[in-house]
Structure 1
Amino acid sequence: MYNIVIVEDELIESESLRRIVSQYVDNSVVHEANTGKKAIQLIDQLDQIDMMLVDINIPLPNGNQVIEYLRTKSASTKVIVTTANDDFDIVRSMLNLKVDDYLLKPVKKSTLTDAISKTLEVSDVDIAASRALKQSVGEMIEQCDYHRWHQFLLNALDDACAGTPSGISQRKLLTDILELLHQHLSSLGDKGLPAGKKVTAMIQEISQSGITPGAYFRIMTGLLSIGEDVFDHALKHFSGTMSFIDRARFHIEKNILNNLTLDDIAARSFVSSCYLSRAFKKMTGYGFSNYIAARKLSVAKSLLQFSDLRINTIALELSYQDANYFCRIFKKETGMSPSDFRKIVAPEPVNSQAG
C-alpha cells in the first residue's frame, strides 16, 4: 500500500491528478493539500510518504520550501514536481533536493503514469496483484465468509513472521491487507471509526517494530478483534442467503478463542443442537467437536511456532481449562506433543516454552 500526497492549489488539476493516481495505483491512499502549510501538516502527520506530487507555485510556503521540509523528515520519499513554467533554472535549483521527475502542466495521463511507474517502480504485475488482493478482500467481506477470512489473514500473519528472505515483502502484504480494511472501514463513516483506529495502530506497530515472539499473540488477538468488528457489520448488512451451517461456522470463527459448545452455536444458528450436529457432519465431513478442535489447533500451531507463550498459557487462551487435555488433543491431531512440535517448527529455543 502506498501513501501518496498531492500538493496542488488548482482544483481541476488536483482532481485530475487524484483520479489518475487512484486508477493507476489502486493500492494507494491519496492525501491532498492545496497550500504549502497543509502539505507540511501532512508531512508531520503521516508516518510514511511513498511519493509526493508537488506544484512549485503553491501559496507559501511554496513547493520548493515544502520539499526542503520533507527532506528533513524523509530522504526516501519520491518527489515529482509539477509546474506550468518550462524553466531549466527551476529544475537546476532543485537538484540538491533529490527530485525524481519534473512534469509540465497540464499533466497528461500517459505522462503521469509513466512517471509513477518509473519513480515507484510499479510494474503491471504489481498492479494486477494489488487489484486481485483488493477484489479478494472485498469478496470475503461482502459474502460474510468469516472462515475463509481467518484462514487468509492468519496465514498472512504467519508468513510475515517466517524467517525467510521474503519476510519483509510478506510483512508488507499484511499491512496492505490492513490498509484495504482501513479503506473499507472509512467507507462506513462514523460506524467504522473505532475499528479504523485499531487498524491504524496495528499498521504503525507492524511497520515500525515488526512482529516479535513477545508481540505475536497480542497482534493476533488484535487482528481477530478487527475482523470481528468488520464481519459483525457485514452480517447486519448481508444481502444474500446464509445457510444455518454457514451461520454456525460464522459464529465459530467469531468465538474461536472462547469455549464453544454445540448448544451455543445451535442457538445462534436458529436450529436444534441435534439437528445441527447431524447436518454439520453431513455437510462438512467433520463432527462438530472435531471441527472446533481442528480450528483451535490450527491457531495453537501458529502460537507454538511464532509466539513465546508457555504451552499452559496457550491452552488457557484457547479456552482449554486442562492443559493436559489440550496436549492429548494436540498429540492425537499431529502425532506429537506441543513441546516436540515447537522444537521442530521453532528451532531457536523459546525461554518460556516449558509447560
Structure 2
Amino acid sequence: MYTILIVDDEKIERDGIRGLIAEMKYELHVIEAENGEKALEYLRLNPVDILLTDIKMPFMGGLELAEQASLAQPSLEIIIYSAYGEFDYARRALYTNASSYLLKPIDMDEFAGVMSGVIQKCSDKATQQLRTAEIMQGYQKGLEYEKEKWLTDLLNGINVISDAGTLPFGGGPAALMLIDFKERYFDRNYEAFEEIVQQLTAGEYEMLNLNEYQSVLIVPCPPSGGREKIRGLSERMAERIAERFYRHCCIVFSPVISDWQEISACYEQMEQTLDYKFFFEDTVVLFAGDDFAGRIPDIVSAETLIADINQFINLGEHAGASRSIELLFNHLSRNGSSSAIYVKYLCSDLVRNAFEQSGRRQKTDFQQTVERIFKSDSILDVKEVLLQALSEIEPEGGAQGESKRHLVQQVIRIVEKDFRDDLSLEAIAGRVSLNPTYLSHVFKKETGQSLIKFITLQRLERAQHLLGSTNMKIVDIAENVGYWSSSYFCLTFKKYYGISPQKYREMLDE
C-alpha cells in the first residue's frame, strides 16, 4: 500500500480528496497536513510515495513545498492542484519536479486518470527497485562465493595471490583459527556463531565454513604481541560458545603470518595439531606447533597410548607411531609410578609388533634391539632406542598397504550406505574400531581428502541425482541427503558447484 500526503489549508478540500480516494477504492494510506511547513516536517521524518498539494497556502506555498519535498525524497511523485486562474503558474512547476496537476474544482474523471497514472508510476518504481535489489543480492552472493572459493584455494595451497591489494587486511600480518566441534554445529548455528565473531573481532575478520563441524577464521594480528592476542581471542570465543550453546569445541590458533604464501603450510600444521583434540574431553585451545606431550591429561592411560601406537604400527604409519611414543613417555615420566622393568617390557613388546608387521623375522635383529632397551640407563635412553628401531624397520608395503585399502573401502561403504545419518568422524571410527585421529590420518593419506569432505561430496552427489531425476522440493532433498537445514544445504551446494540447487535444476531442464 502506498502513502499519499494531502496538503491544503482548507479542511473541506482535504476531506473531499480523501472521499474521492475512498469512493474510487484506491488502496492508499492517507496522511493530511494543513500547510507546507507541517507537510515538509512530516516528509523529512517519514517515507511518502505521493504528495498532493495546493499551490496557495500560508507559511509555505505548494511550489516551494514541492521543491523542498523532492530534495528530501527524490523518488516522490508530486501532484499539484490549483484554481483555474492559477493554471499557468502551476504549469511552470511541471517543468521542475511535479509529476502531474489537477484543476479546481476537481473533475472525477480527470482525478481518476491522474491518480491511476501516478499509482502506476509508483508500482513501476517498486518493481524496478525490487529487480535492482535482486540483481544486487545476486551480485553480492556471487562475490561471497568467489571470496569463499578464493579462501578455500588459499588454504589448499593453490597460488591465487596476485598483489597485496587483493588480500584481506591489505595483505598485513594475520593469524588463523580453526574451530572444530565433535558434533554437528554450523549447519544450525552458523549465523549465531557469526554474531559472536562479529562482537569479538569488531567486524575485522574473514570466515570460511568448511563443513558442519569446522570453520576457519582469519583475523588481522600485529607481529608484536600477536600470539597473545590470538590466544586471548580463541579463549574468549571458546568461553562464549560454551556460555551460549553449552557446547565443547577445540580451537587451534596459528602463529602470526606475515607472508600470505605461508598460509597453506600453516593450515596443514593446524590440522595436524587438531589430532590432539581426542585426548581432551572438554573445550581446549591449542597453539599450532606446540609440543603437546606435556599437555595430555592424566586421564589418558598408558594402555590407551600403547594401543594407539600399535594401531599405527599395524598400519605401517611409523611417523604417527613416533608421535604417540613421545606422548607415552611423557605420560610415564609425569606419572612416575611405573618401574623401569615395566617400561622396558612395554617397549620390547612394541618392537616385537613392529618387527612382525614389517615382515622382518630375523631373531638376532629383534634380540639385539631388546638388549639395547634393557641395557638403557634411563627412560629417555629407552625412548631413543625404540624410536631408532622404528625408523630402521621398513614396513612391508604389500600386506599393510592392503590392510589400509581394506579399511578405507570399509569406511567408504559405511558412508555410501548411511550418508543420510549423522555421520561424524568419531561415530565411524567406533564402527571400524579405530582411534578417530588415525582413521582421519589414514583416510586422507589413501584418498587425498578428509573423511568429512568425502561425506559432504557423497551427500551432494546424491542431491544432484535427486534434482535431475525427481520433482522433490529442495527442502525435502536437503533432508533426504542428511542436512538438517535446507538453507545450509543450499549454501554448501553452491560452494561446491558454483550455482544454487534451484539454478542447477533449471539448467538441467533447459
TM-score using structure 1 length: 0.39
TM-score using structure 2 length: 0.28
Which has the larger Rg? Answer: 2
Higher relative contact order (CA 8 A, sep 6+): 1
